[in-house]
Structure 1
Amino acid sequence: MDGGAEYRFIGTNAPFLERAWADPAEIEDEIRAASRSGIDVIRLYPFEVRMAGDPPGAFRHVMGPGLYDESAFKLFDKMLQLANAYGVRLIVPFVDSYNYVGGTPDWAAFRGKSADDFWTDPVIRQDFKDFIRFVLNRVNTYTQVPYKNDKAILAWQLGNELRSTDAWTSEMAAYVKSLDANHLVGDGGYVRAQGIRANALNDPNIDFIDPHIYLYHNYSDPIAKLNEWRTTTQGKKPLFIGEFGDFTPEVNERLLQTVQSNGTAGAMVWGSMSHHKMGGWHWPPVGDWSYLRYPGFPSGNWANETAIFNQLRQYAYAIKGIPVPAWTVPTAPILFPADSVHALSWLGASTSAAYDLERAASPSGPWSVVTADVTDDVTAPDDYNASVPIADDASALPGTSYYYRVKAKSPDGGYSPYSNVIGPIKPQEAIVADNGGSGYAETGTWGDSTLSGSYGGGSRYSNSAGSTATWTLEVGEPGYYNVYVRYPYHQTSSQSVAYAVRHNGVTDTIPAVNQTTITGQWRLIDTPYFAAGADQYVKLTAGTVAGSGNVTRADAVMLEPVAYGDRFQGTGTDGWTASGGAWSPAVDVAKTLLSQTLKQSARGIAETRAGDAYADVAVTASVKAYDRTDADSSSGLIARASADFSSYYTLRINYGQNKVQLYKKINGSWTKLGEAGLIASPGAWYQLRLELRGGSISGYVNGIRKLAVTDAGLTSGYAGLRTFEQTAVFDNFVVTVLD
C-alpha cells in the first residue's frame, strides 16, 4: 500500500546503476529515463564485494570486513538523491550469490572460509550484519537523511538469487527489521531453484515474494507458473516478478496482461541500460536477447528492443489506471569539445529517439542542418576512456572553421532545447583508406558485406580466424596522427580482434578490440608518429572468443594529424621528460578494456612532459587513480609548462576533496584559479581536457566544462601529466593546436 492506495508497478532491473565505477551523469540518465517512461521502480544489482582476482585499482563497496569504500557510497548517496528528485523507488539487494561483482563466496573468503560457510559461520554472519548496520545507518552526504529513513528505497532484499538456509534468512530479516522498521524486506531467495519456501511465506519479517522467470528456465508455460505463484502467495504475501526478460514480445504481452489482471503487484524486466558518460550507450547483448535502451532503437530490434519498451511503458501506466501520456520533451544534450569533425560526440538526453546536428561559421549562426535524425545508439565498453564518436560531418571542408550544436527529439517528435555550442573546429586533410581501394590487401577468406554503417557503402567480413586485412598508408607529411578504424554493426561480430599499426619503423599492437562496440563510426585506436612515405600500414587479424561471435569486419582506416599524441601502445616513456615519480608503461586490465597506459607509482610530486612548447592548445588525457585519497591526493594535466616544471597550469582531480581544480604555478608559487565539485572515484576512468586560448582557460571532465577562468600569467610551454601522493595510470594523451 502507498498511503491508502494499492501500490502496483512495472519496473526494470538496472544492473549498472549501482556500480562503484558509475558516473553521476549515467545514474541520472537511467533514473530520469525510467521516470519519463512511466517506470517508477528500479531494482538494483547488489553491493560490490572485493574479489581475490580483482586487478590493481579495482574498488568495491566492500573492500573487506568493516572496510567500505567511501567513494562508492557517495555515488550511492547521489543515486538516492536523484531517485527522490524523479519520484523513482529502488529495490536494493545486499549481496549477490554470484561472482560478477563479488558476493557470498567472497565474504567467506575474507575469513579464509569456503562459500557454504557464509550461511553458518558466526564470524562471517557478524561481518555481514555489521555491513547491514553500516548501510542502514549511513547518513546521505547530500540529503543528510539516513538510508533507513529514505523514501526512495521501496525495499531491501537480503540478496540476489540466494541459496540461503531458512535459519540464515530469518536471522538476517529480523536483524534488518530491528534497525529499520520503515522499509519492506525480501528474502532474495532463488525461487526457480528452491521454489516458494514456506519460511518466506510465514516469516513475519519477510514482506513479499519476488520470483524470477525466464525462457531459459525451461518453463513451458510461464503464464501458468505465474498463476501458480499467485495462488500460493494470495492472502499471505504480495507477489511481484523480480526478473523476466528473454521472452518474445507476444509472451511478454501475455505475462504483463496476467500480472495486471490476477492481482500480482508488479513485474520487472531484465534489464535496462543508461547512456555512457563518454557518449553512446552501455549495452551488452546476451545471446539472442539484450539489455534495453530507452526508448528503443532500430539497431536493437533484432532483440525486440522497441517493441518491449513500448509494452513496458503501456503497462506501467495501465497497471496504475492512467492513460499513456505524450512523451516529455527531452532536456538539452551536452555536446563535447572535439578536435575532429569526423568524431563528434555528446552526452545523450534521456528518452531521445534521435538528434539533429547543425553547424555554422560563427557561434551565433546562421545555422544549417548537417544531418537530421542521427541516433546515438553507439555501444561503448563499460570502461571506455575517450569520447565515443556519434556523428561524422563528412561534408566539412579542410581549412574551414566550423561551430556545432545539437538538439534531441522525442519518439513523438518533440524537440529539446539546443545543446551548448562547440568550436571553432578546423578540419584537417585526412588520409582515408577503404577496403578494396589502392593499398588494401587480404589473406585468408573474406566476403562482401553491405551492412549499414559501412564506409562507402560496403565492407568485408571473415569468419576464419587468422585471416588478415591490411591498409597500406601513404603519408605526405611526417608527424603525429590519430589512427581511426571503422566497421559496421552486427550482433554476431567478434568481440576480440587485433590491430597492428606500423609507423616509422615501429609496430604498435592493439590486441583486443570488440567489434560489437563503437560501430559505424570512426574508432580511435592509436596516436603514433608517422614518417613520410609508404611502408606504413594498419593490419587487422581476425579472431574469435568462445561464445562471442566469430565474424570479423574489415572496412576503412583514417589518419588525421595532431600536434602530439601518445596512447602509450608501443613507445613507453620514449620522448617524455620526467621530474620525480616513477613513470613506466603498464597494461591496465579491466572487464572490457585491455590498454597500454603510462603509470606513475611513486609518492610525492611526479611530473612529466612531452612534445614541443605550445601557446594556444587543447591538452586531453584519460586518468584513473589506483590508490590514496588523502586530503590533496590528485592526478591531472599540465600545460604551458616551463622546461624545468617551475611554472605551469594544472587541471587535476582531487580525490580526497571530491573536486576538480585548476591551479597556476609561477616560479614555484601556487595560485588556485578555480575549482568545482566532482564525485571522483578511484578505479574509474575520467577524461580531462584543458583548453587555453590566450588568457581564456577552460577545464573539462568527461566532455563537460567544469571551469572557465581568465589568466594571463603564462603564455606558452610544454604539455604533460602530474600526480601528487597518488598512483595513477594515463591514456589517450593528445595535444591539439587551437587556431
Structure 2
Amino acid sequence: MKSATCVCKVIFLLLVVGLVCEGQVVVSSGFVETRGTGFIVDGSPFLFNGFNSYWMMTVASQPSQRSKISDVFREAAAAGLTVCRTWAFSDGGDRALQMSPRLYNEAVFQGLDFVISEARKYGVKLILSLSNNYEDYGGKAQYVQWARNAGVPVSGEDDFYTNAVVKSYYKNHVKKVLTRINTFTRIAYKDDSTIMAWELMNEPRCQADYSGKTVNGWVQEMASYVKSMDNKHLLEVGMEGFYGDSIPDRKQYNPGYQVGTDFITNNQIKEIDFTTIHAYPDIWLSGQNDNLQMAFVQKWLTTHWTDSRTILKKPLVFSEFGKSKKDPGYSESARDAFLYTLYTKIYELARSGGGIGGGLVWQIMAQGMDSYYDGYEIVLSQNPSAAAVISQQSRKMTALEHA
C-alpha cells in the first residue's frame, strides 16, 4: 500500500499536469504554439520536462505489449513529465510501418494510434519524428535502397536529400502520417493537439556536404511541404546542433568536427518553429574525463540558447541527453549528478531569460524491455534516485511556468 505521503505527491503532480478524472489526466485541448522565443498553450506559457521513448509504436504494434506504453505514460505523468518524443517511422525490415514506398502495415499504424491515444489520456504532448539519419528502423539508407531497387540511378545514402524519386517517397510518408485518422480517437493526426510538433528527421547528417547547404535545401523543401498540409502543429528539423559554414566562428563550439548541418541556416528557415540540440559527450568526447565532458555540454547548451534567442529568435528544446551505463566508471550517482547539473542549467536559462522550453532525457522505458536497452535506459519505477531528480526538475519548470 502506498504511504499517505506518496499518494499526496502523486495527486499533486496530477493536478499540476491537469485534472484528475476517472483515473486519467485531462489537459487543455490547445495546440502548443510559439510566441517569440517561448512556447505557449491557450495563450499561457508552456515550460516542460520531458523524455524520449523512441520504441513506443513498435512495441504497441503487438496488442499484448501495450501495457508497457500505458505504464510509461502513467509513471511519466506522476513524475510531472509532459512531453514525449517518439518515432513515427519504421522503414522496411522487421515490424515496419512502411514496408515499401506507399505500402503500410495497418497493425503497426494502429500501434502508433494507441500511443497517441494513451498520451492524450495522461496529459503528455508528443513530438513525432518522421525519419532517421541512421539505418535503425530503415532511415535514409532504406529510402535510397528502395529507389535503387526501382532502377533509379543513386550513388549513396546522401542522395536522400537530393534525388527527386527518393524525396517523393519521403513526402508520401509525411502525407500518410499527417492525414492518418486515429482508430482509437477518430481524430486525424494533423488535427490532434496531443501532438506538439513534427520532426523532419532524427539527427540529419550529410557526409557529401559538410557545409550544411545540402541539408538546408532539403529542410526548406520538406518544411514547406509539411506546413502546406498542416499549419496547426509546430515543426522542427531534428538537429543535434552542429554548426556549419555560415558563421565560421561558431564551429569552435563543435566537438572537433562537422556533420553536414548548420544550426544557424537550417533553423532560419521560416517554416521551422523551434530549434533543437542533442548532446552525447561520452560519445563525442570519448576519452575525456567527466568534468571536461560536462563543461562541453554546458557551453554547448548556453551557446545554442544564446543563438536561438538573439540570431534565430526561436525557442530551443534540449531534445536528447543522457549518461550511459556502458561508460567506464558509470554509477547511478554519476548519472544522477549529470542529469541534475543539466537540469539546473536548463532551469537557470529558462528563469534568467526564457528562450528554452525544456529538456527531454534519453530515455524512459518500461519493465521487461531488456532487449531494447542501450545503456541510457531509465525505468522510473525501478530507479528511484533518477526518478527523484527528474520529478524535482518537473516541479521547478512547472513553478516557473506559473511564476
TM-score by length of 2: 0.71
Q: Equivalent residue for 1:49?
A: 91
Match of 1:224 among 293, 299, 312: 299
The AA in structure 1 aligned to 2:52 is N
Q: Equivalent residue for 2:181?
A: 139
Q: Equivalent residue for 2:366?
A: 274
Q: Residue 159 and residue 233 in structure 1: after superposition, are their counterparts in 2 closer, same or farther (change >3 A)?
A: same
Give SS of 1:129's match.
Answer: helix
CA distance in structure 2 between the partners assigned to 1:65 and 1:251 by the alignment? 42
Kindly state the Cα deviation for residue 254 of structure 1 after the two structures are TM-superposed: 1.9
Q: Equivalent residue for 1:381?
A: none
The AA in structure 2 aligned to 1:294 is L
Q: Equivalent residue for 1:2?
A: 41
Q: Equivalent residue for 2:317?
A: 240
CA distance in structure 2 between the partners assigned to 1:281 and 1:94 by the alignment? 24
CA distance in structure 1 between the partners assigned to 2:390 and 2:147 by the alignment? 44
Kindly state the Cα deviation for residue 285 of structure 1 after the two structures are TM-superposed: 4.5
Match of 1:19 among 36, 55, 58: 58
Q: Equivalent residue for 1:256?
A: 343
The answer to which of 61-70 and 214-223 deviates more is 214-223
Report the RMSD for the aligned CA atoms in angstroms. Answer: 2.0
Match of 1:198 among 254, 264, 271: 264
For residues 177-219 of structure 1, give each alpha carbon's deviation from its aligned partner in whole angstroms, at most 9, with x where no partner exists.
1100111101113324456522233111001111101222224
Q: Residue 317 and residue 170 in structure 1: after superposition, are their counterparts in 2 closer, same or farther (change >3 A)?
A: same
Matched, 1:96 2:141: no
CA distance in structure 2 between the partners assigned to 1:129 and 1:285 by the alignment? 32
Q: Equivalent residue for 1:151?
A: 193
Q: Equivalent residue for 2:115?
A: 79
CA distance in structure 2 between the partners assigned to 1:306 and 1:290 by the alignment? 15
Q: Residue 122 and residue 194 in structure 1: after superposition, are their counterparts in 2 closer, same or farther (change >3 A)?
A: closer
For residues 306-355 of structure 1, give each alpha carbon's deviation from its aligned partner in whole angstroms, at most 9, with x where no partner exists.
322211111112101089xxxxxxxxxxxxxxxxxxxxxxxxxxxxxxxx
Aligned length in residues: 303
Aligned 8 A contact 2:77 2:124 in 1: yes
Matched, 1:36 2:111: no
Q: Equivalent residue for 1:161?
A: 203
Q: Equivalent residue for 2:222?
A: 172
Match of 2:397 among 309, 319, 329: 319
Match of 1:186 among 206, 215, 236: 236
Give SS of 2:42's match.
Answer: coil
The AA in structure 2 aligned to 1:215 is P
Kindly state the Cα deviation for residue 123 of structure 1 after the two structures are TM-superposed: 0.9
The AA in structure 2 aligned to 1:223 is Q
Match of 2:380 among 288, 294, 298: 294
CA distance in structure 2 between the partners assigned to 1:201 and 1:62 by the alignment? 28
CA distance in structure 2 between the partners assigned to 1:75 and 1:290 by the alignment? 24
Give SS of 1:151's match.
Answer: coil
Aligned 8 A contact 1:211 1:242 in 2: yes
The AA in structure 2 aligned to 1:316 is S
Q: Equivalent residue for 2:277?
A: 211
Q: Residue 46 and residue 136 in structure 1: after superposition, are their counterparts in 2 closer, same or farther (change >3 A)?
A: closer
Aligned 8 A contact 2:380 2:386 in 1: no
The AA in structure 2 aligned to 1:224 is K
CA distance in structure 2 between the partners assigned to 1:9 and 1:194 by the alignment? 30
Kindly state the Cα deviation for residue 62 of structure 1 after the two structures are TM-superposed: 0.5
Query: Equivalent residues in 2 for 1:328-367 (5 A)?
Result: none
Give SS of 2:187's match.
Answer: coil
The AA in structure 1 aligned to 2:225 is Y
Q: Equivalent residue for 1:111?
A: 147
Give SS of 1:205's match.
Answer: coil
Aligned 8 A contact 1:50 1:63 in 2: yes
Kindly state the Cα deviation for residue 46 of structure 1 after the two structures are TM-superposed: 4.6
Q: Residue 35 and residue 282 in structure 1: after superposition, are their counterparts in 2 closer, same or farther (change >3 A)?
A: farther
The AA in structure 1 aligned to 2:267 is L
Aligned 8 A contact 2:216 2:261 in 1: no
Query: Equivalent residues in 2 for 1:334-733 (5 A)?
Result: none
For residues 496-527 of structure 1, give each alpha carbon's deviation from its aligned partner in whole angstroms, at most 9, with x where no partner exists.
xxxxxxxxxxxxxxxxxxxxxxxxxxxxxxxx
The AA in structure 2 aligned to 1:131 is H
Give SS of 1:233's match.
Answer: helix
CA distance in structure 2 between the partners assigned to 1:284 and 1:71 by the alignment? 20
CA distance in structure 2 between the partners assigned to 1:212 and 1:46 by the alignment? 19
Q: Residue 253 and residue 45 in structure 1: after superposition, are their counterparts in 2 closer, same or farther (change >3 A)?
A: same
CA distance in structure 2 between the partners assigned to 1:139 and 1:161 by the alignment? 28
Query: Which segments of 5 or more consecutive residues in structure 1 lack a partner in the other structure?
Result: 52-57, 298-304, 324-739
Aligned 8 A contact 2:240 2:279 in 1: no
Aligned 8 A contact 2:88 2:112 in 1: no
Aligned 8 A contact 2:237 2:267 in 1: no
Q: Residue 201 and residue 100 in structure 1: after superposition, are their counterparts in 2 closer, same or farther (change >3 A)?
A: closer
Q: Residue 252 and residue 45 in structure 1: after superposition, are their counterparts in 2 closer, same or farther (change >3 A)?
A: same
TM-score by length of 1: 0.40
Give SS of 2:278's match.
Answer: coil
Matched, 1:310 2:367: no
The structure that is helix-richer by fraction is 2
Aligned-residue identity in percent: 27
Q: Equivalent residue for 1:512?
A: none
Aligned 8 A contact 1:283 1:292 in 2: no
The AA in structure 2 aligned to 1:185 is L
The structure that is strand-richer by fraction is 1
For residues 356-388 of structure 1, give each alpha carbon's deviation from its aligned partner in whole angstroms, at most 9, with x where no partner exists.
xxxxxxxxxxxxxxxxxxxxxxxxxxxxxxxxx
The AA in structure 2 aligned to 1:210 is T
CA distance in structure 2 between the partners assigned to 1:5 and 1:174 by the alignment? 27
CA distance in structure 2 between the partners assigned to 1:81 and 1:32 by the alignment? 13
- Greater C-alpha radius of gyration: 1
**Bigger relative contact order, structure 1 or 2, given CA contacts below 8 A and separation 6+?**
2
Aligned 8 A contact 2:81 2:394 in 1: yes
